[in-house]
Amino acid sequence: MRKLSLTHWLLCYPKTALVGCLLLVLISCSGLAKLWISIDYQVYYANDDPYRLALNSLESQYGKTQNAYLVIRNKNSKENATTPEAIQALYELTQAAWQIPFSQRVTSVTNYKYIQAQGDDIQVAPLLDNPVSLSSAEIKVALQRLQQEPAVNQLLLGKDQIMTAVNVGLHLPDNPIAETRQVTQYIRNMLTDFKQRYPHFQFFASGSVFADEVFAVATEQDLLTLIPLSYAVLIVFLVILLRSTRAMLLVLTLVTLSVTIAFGIKGWINPVISPVTAFAPSMIMIIAVADCIHLLNGFMYHRRQGLTPSAAVIESLRLNSRPVILTSVTTIIGFLAMNFSSSPAFHDLGNVVAIGVGAALLLALVMLPAFLLIKPIPVTANASVISRFMPYLAKKLAQYPYVFLTSSLLLSLLLIVGISQNKINETFIAFFDNSFEFRQNAEAIDHHLTGLHRIDYILPTDKAEGIFQPSYQQTLAKFSHWLRQQPEVAHVETYSDIIKRLNQALHADKPAKYTIPDKAELIAQYQLLYELSLPYGHDLNNRISFNHDATRLTVRLWLTDSAAILAFDQRVQNWLELHAPDIVQTQQKAGLISQGIGIDMMFAHIALNNIPAMYYGTLVALLLISFIIIGALRSLKVGSLGMLTNLFPITMAFGLWGWLSGQVGLSISVVASLTLGLVVDDTVHFLHRYLHARRHQGLTPSQALTTTLESSGVAIVTTSIVLAASFAVLAASHYTPNAQLGLLTAITIIFALVIDLLLLPPLLFLLDQRLTHLSVIKEVEHAPH
């Protein structure tokens, strides 16, 4: 009744309605100015995420873990990066690196503080300071000695000497949007200058600032390419389906406004745009188009029947507003279920798309009819291929229901078996395809120098000054020795190496004395002697806590995936429990996490944690949507049947994914809840129409099937194709998580179409026939109106 009065109000004041909608758009627009793209991949983590807290705690004590990593390589592939000219370039690059904004520490082989005996004293000084004054033989000797240093080998100097590097520790403020760009831009300019001065060498950069930056670049690229692509796809489909430029423009305007409202409101609630959210505009557009198509199709259908524009609007609203509202609500629920994800970035995506779908619904129900009333669009005669095919399909389905049923069940089972092939896994470097310089650099460095993944372990003792205990140092030394034997490990940086080296230097560099001293006082005093010899930016504050109760050990792993990182960390836990029970006990007592710390660990955990979280989210969405559909269809049996068949497309898609890829990462794990709301729409339309035919038109099951396929079938096929094609276009993203999300969603929608056309009808048909004289008819008879 209220809807009817809304329609009447619309008929009377179309212009007011139009202006009202535009006002709403304008008001929400004001939030757009607040939006900004976050460059910080911490947007993926909740504020109270234990691994994020552990990283914050580590950084407050040992300094920030951000870095830039500058690499030199000889262009002549026969020569390595240790020629006198290369070392001179490295020396100058090291000096220049101190000027990089926010730099705190700069280390390379040319300024590495080499500890050695000098008579009765010890010297802590670089071996390659001022390399111009050294002969190539001297450089060679120095490099040989440096290569023996665990802190240098495979971090600052490659084992094969093909690459050398300057590691720059940075201290960026929180939310370093502008600062990261400032640093990367500064480094790029600096390297361009070096490339000109040293034309025989390659200079390139990596490190956490570049990883941060590549996220932002991927986001921007997606915003710049995916949105135009989505528009292009929509324009093509709309022109084909609507055959009217004006209708096409009208729909495009409505979708654009839906996106504007969604992001305007987002600007007020949560102004951060992450790579994941960059995906939202395309999604909103795709979903909003479906609403518009339903209403416009209805309008055109009735116009063709000879109704006046206003009568056609009323008819279209009367027939379509209910299913459109219903399907929008299920879609919104599906997206809101993303709030179950363990990553805030996906909450954000779900919420902004949900807002967008809501806005699209409002605009489609108010603004579209208002516009049609003010300025009706012309209508062309229409006879689509799909509508000619449908009666044929209906006939065959009624003829051979078992054939269709068994073959589609077999096909789905075959696919579903593939689910077992899926593993929770994420490969960070594969987020970015080969078009990204970041990936190329990281892979080159991985090949010749060191690993990209960094894991920190904080190893506490139970009292202040405890790190001077020889037993602790022994454990540390054993631990790093064990770590260096692991195949994943590229580099280990540990405090015990320094103590051993100091002991050796204080014993006239005797190799046998490369050991841990046996007295705590010796260790403490050696350290004091060493610390007093260190210059700015080379201190031990990044290795030891200031009350000397813990040290930090950094492991670099060769490029790998999250499953391997977690497995490695688990082995580390096991080793520590077995060989360093004191440390583990202290960790437990102090409530510290014993796992590795760092961005790579955070990534590995979040993919793992997100699966169960999203599983529950999808389950809740499924229950909610089921209630709504059962209520809306007023039939428990048919409604449950519809929901059950909707589990098929999702499981089939994940099965196919298992056969194709088998890696389920963060973004793939949200596809189930995302698509649930979408795929259910077709079923709703189908069942709605079928029950209508059975209940109100009194048709037999076979007749009802034909009518349903002829009318709703056409809409189901067209919207599914539009949705699937548009999501498939998102697979063009160079940012793999987004590309995979688009691809898997498209696959799910296609499967949903197949199920809705080939599995659901025969199943419904058979059940209905068997029950015709029993419950369904009873139910139909007793159903209200």
Partner 1 sequence: MHLINKISCRQTVYWLTFSFSVIASTLIVTHTSQASTASNQQVPQALAEAKKRGYEIAENADLQDLGYSDMQVNVKMILLDAMGRRAERSLAVNTLEMTKDGDRSLTLFLSPRDQKGTVLLTHAHPQANDDQWLYLPALRRVKRITANDRSGPFVGSEFAYEDMIRQEVDDYSYRLLKSTQFEDKPAWLLERTPKDIHSGYSKQHVWLDKQAYRIWRIDFYDRKNTLLKTLFFEGYQQYANAYWRPLRSIMENYQTGKKTILEYSDYRFKTGLTTAQFSQYQLRSQAH
DSSP H/E element including 550: strand 550-557
CA distance 572 to 485: 12
DSSP-assigned letter for residue 467: G
Q: Do residues 554 and 456 touch, judged by C-beta distance below 8 A?
A: yes
Binding mask 437-466 for partner 1 (x = CB under 8 A): ---------------------------xx-
Q: Do residues 723 and 286 touch, judged by C-beta distance below 8 A?
A: yes
- Residue 593 makes contact with partner 1 by CB under 8 A: no
Nearer to partner 1 by Cβ, of 504 and 545: the residue is: 545
Q: Report in angstroms how near the CB of residue 532 gets to partner 1 at its nearest.
A: 5
Token pair, residue 417, equals 């078996």
Nearer to partner 1 by Cβ, of 437 and 549: the residue is: 549
Nearer to partner 1 by Cβ, of 124 and 352: the residue is: 124
Q: Report in angstroms how near the CB of residue 460 gets to partner 1 at its nearest.
A: 12
CA distance 11 to 386: 33
Q: Of the ranges 40-48, 118-126, 160-168, 720-728, which one interacts with partner 1 (CB under 8 A)?
A: 118-126
Q: Report in angstroms how near the CB of residue 465 gets to partner 1 at its nearest.
A: 5
The position carrying tokens 């999702």 is 650
Q: Report in angstroms how near the CB of residue 494 gets to partner 1 at its nearest.
A: 18
Q: Report in angstroms how near the CB of residue 57 gets to partner 1 at its nearest.
A: 7
Q: Of the ranges 119-127, 397-405, 591-599, 624-632, which one interacts with partner 1 (CB under 8 A)?
A: 119-127
User: What string of H, E and C letters represents the secondary structure of 692-757?
Assistant: HHHHCCCCCHHHHHHHHHHHHHHHHHHHHHHHHHHHHHHCCCCEHHHHHHHHHHHHHHHHHHHHHH
- Residue 290 makes contact with partner 1 by CB under 8 A: no
CA distance 662 to 660: 6
The position carrying tokens 């949007």 is 177
Nearer to partner 1 by Cβ, of 96 and 620: the residue is: 96
Nearer to partner 1 by Cβ, of 370 and 523: the residue is: 523
Q: Report in angstroms how near the CB of residue 115 gets to partner 1 at its nearest.
A: 11
**CA neighbours within 13 Å on the CB side: how many for 20?**
14
- Residue 122 makes contact with partner 1 by CB under 8 A: yes
Amino acid type, 366: V
Q: Report in angstroms how near the CB of residue 150 gets to partner 1 at its nearest.
A: 21
Q: Do residues 621 and 613 touch, judged by C-beta distance below 8 A?
A: no
- Residue 177 makes contact with partner 1 by CB under 8 A: no
Q: Do residues 162 and 74 touch, judged by C-beta distance below 8 A?
A: yes
CA distance 455 to 137: 37
Considering only CA atoms, which of 293, 232, 353 is closest in space to residue 719? Answer: 293
- Residue 540 makes contact with partner 1 by CB under 8 A: yes
Considering only CA atoms, which of 122, 124, 194, 294 is closest in space to residue 715? Answer: 294
Q: Of the ranges 541-549, 573-581, 730-738, 761-769, which one interacts with partner 1 (CB under 8 A)?
A: 541-549
In angstroms, the first-to-last Cα distance of the chain is 15
- The helix-helix angle for 701-730 and 280-304 (nearest 10°) equals 140
CA distance 130 to 426: 45
- Cα–chain-centroid distance for residue 78? 40
* Contact residue for partner 1 among 125, 252, 592, 771 (CB under 8 A): 125
- The helix-helix angle for 636-660 and 760-771 (nearest 10°) equals 150
* Contact residue for partner 1 among 548, 634, 637, 692 (CB under 8 A): 548
Total residues contacting partner 1 by CB under 8 A comes to 49
Q: Report in angstroms how near the CB of residue 518 gets to partner 1 at its nearest.
A: 11
Q: Report in angstroms how near the CB of residue 355 gets to partner 1 at its nearest.
A: 37
Nearer to partner 1 by Cβ, of 493 and 682: the residue is: 493
Overall size of the chain counted in residues: 785
Q: Do residues 449 and 71 touch, judged by C-beta distance below 8 A?
A: yes
Considering only CA atoms, which of 175, 216, 182 is closest in space to residue 431? Answer: 216
- Residue 592 makes contact with partner 1 by CB under 8 A: no
Q: Report in angstroms how near the CB of residue 522 gets to partner 1 at its nearest.
A: 5
- Residue 634 makes contact with partner 1 by CB under 8 A: no
Is 602 in a helix, a strand, or coil? helix
* Contact residue for partner 1 among 545, 562, 663, 733 (CB under 8 A): 545
Nearer to partner 1 by Cβ, of 270 and 541: the residue is: 541
DSSP-assigned letter for residue 164: E
Nearer to partner 1 by Cβ, of 515 and 769: the residue is: 515
Q: Report in angstroms how near the CB of residue 528 gets to partner 1 at its nearest.
A: 5
* Contact residue for partner 1 among 6, 11, 34, 61 (CB under 8 A): 61
User: Degrees (nearest 5) of the Cα angle 693, 699, 700?
Assistant: 120
* Contact residue for partner 1 among 547, 570, 585, 775 (CB under 8 A): 547
* Contact residue for partner 1 among 536, 773, 782, 784 (CB under 8 A): 536
Is 397 in a helix, a strand, or coil? helix
Handedness of CA 485, 490, 494, 496 (dihedral sign): positive
Q: Report in angstroms how near the CB of residue 181 gets to partner 1 at its nearest.
A: 17
Considering only residues 75 to 104 of the shown chain, the ones binding partner 1 according to CB under 8 A are 98-104
Binding mask 493-532 for partner 1 (x = CB under 8 A): -------------x------------xxxxxxxx-xx-xx
Q: Of the ranges 132-140, 217-225, 537-545, 603-611, which one interacts with partner 1 (CB under 8 A)?
A: 537-545
- Residue 60 makes contact with partner 1 by CB under 8 A: yes
- Residue 48 makes contact with partner 1 by CB under 8 A: no
Q: Which residues bind partner 1 (CB under 8 A)?
A: 57, 60-61, 63, 98-104, 118, 120-125, 171, 464-465, 468, 506, 519-526, 528-529, 531-541, 544-548
